[in-house]
Chain A
Amino acid sequence: MSVDPQVLARARARVLGVPSITVAEPVPPGFTGASDGTRVWLLPEWPDGATPALLEEYDTAPMPLDRPGQARRVLAAALRCCWPRLDDAPWPGQDALVIDVLEVYVGLSRGDADLARRWATGELRRLADTGWLLLDEAAGTVRPGPRVALWADETLGPLRDLLRRLPEPVREDAP
């Protein structure tokens, strides 16, 4: 018994996380495409605009994160740097330096700054593994991940308020 290729493509995408194709290729049926102009990331299409946030209404625990507080703070620090114009949409955002993100994170945490940087580096990798960030370790840059494109604009108010309260990255080359 062979599997319908479109069904298999959607199953495969779930295994791969958030796969990407070039903008020249058509987005296969059953996906929402998030394009940055060069590539298109294939995000799952959910029925009736539902998101996994729906689980909260039903008192149902989502897949657990190892250190949810730290993961959220590192994601916030990264977004503070690569989503500079908060009135725009967060996707596709722009490249930010990893060292800037680490400094913003250090500003949010108490205790040993070197240790905080090390924790945050591991967390950036985990957030990249799961599609929340796009991390280029060789170039030392990070930008928002395609999953961010799934956030509905009307739900972004509290996140924008929170990010406005975070310290901005210190730019040595700033005028």
Chain B
Amino acid sequence: MSELFEPLLRSYDERRRAELVAAYMAVEHAAAPVPEVRFAALREPALRRTVEAMLGLSGRTLVRAATKEWISGYRDEVAAELAADPDCAPPADERAVLTLVLIHSVAIPRAAGLLADDSWQSPFPTPVEELRRRSQLPIGELEAALRRLRVAGLVTQVKAGGDEAGGFVPGPQFHRLTDAARRRLQEELILAAGPDSPLAAAIRARRRGRSNIQGDSK
């Protein structure tokens, strides 16, 4: 018996309890969003609130990925705390490599109208040669960064085959972004790819406004 979850699970009968545990483990460990048709505790709103509360114990929340599909991710306020923690933020070379993958596999195809506006999954791999050239990292360090990003599920390797060139695309962790996290990432990508664009200026102005309001309320 788990002391952590017991207060939330205590009132349910054995069958409901098993459904809650199954849904919790599925959204926490699946590679991709899981369909609610397979998990009673995701289908029924009252049970889904309990799954949400179970996730909340570890700073996680439910993320609705598509109609009737769910996965888990960090709560926004928890993600902000983790990002500010130097032990938790990935080192600069990993972030640089990941940014390059997002620019090549998502931002450029999205600007060309080849990808839906809100998708972080991409069929367009970033060639390793491009990563080597643009990151200016020695090959050993680039490979180590890619190994850690792959292990973390942040990038996925696509093997070359036929006419298709191989490379790297955003990994399964990008299913786990909350709406606010997707918005923030989209803004960061605009700031990275077009820092002098009017859109980037608008984002900076809005952020300044927001931090002023927060500053005033303190």
A residues near B, CB below 8 A? Answer: 1, 3, 7-8, 10-12, 14-16, 29-30, 44-52, 54-55, 57-64, 66, 122, 125-126, 129-130
Contact = CB atoms under 8 A, between A and B. Distances in A.
A51 B91 CA distance: 31
B34 A122 contact: no
A64 B31 contact: yes
Given A47-B25, A122-B147, 14 more contacts: A3-B59, A3-B75, A8-B78, A8-B81, A29-B3, A46-B25, A52-B29, A54-B22, A58-B22, A58-B39, A60-B34, A61-B32, A63-B153, A64-B156
A60 B1 CA distance: 25
Interface residues of B, number: 44
A7 B88 contact: no
Contact of B58 (A30, A59, A60): A30
Contacts, number: 114
A135 B108 CA distance: 40
A45 B81 CA distance: 22
Contact of A16 (B2, B3, B4, B88): B88
A63 B147 contact: no
B8 to A, nearest CB: 9
Interface string B13-34: 0000110111011100111101
A63 B22 contact: no
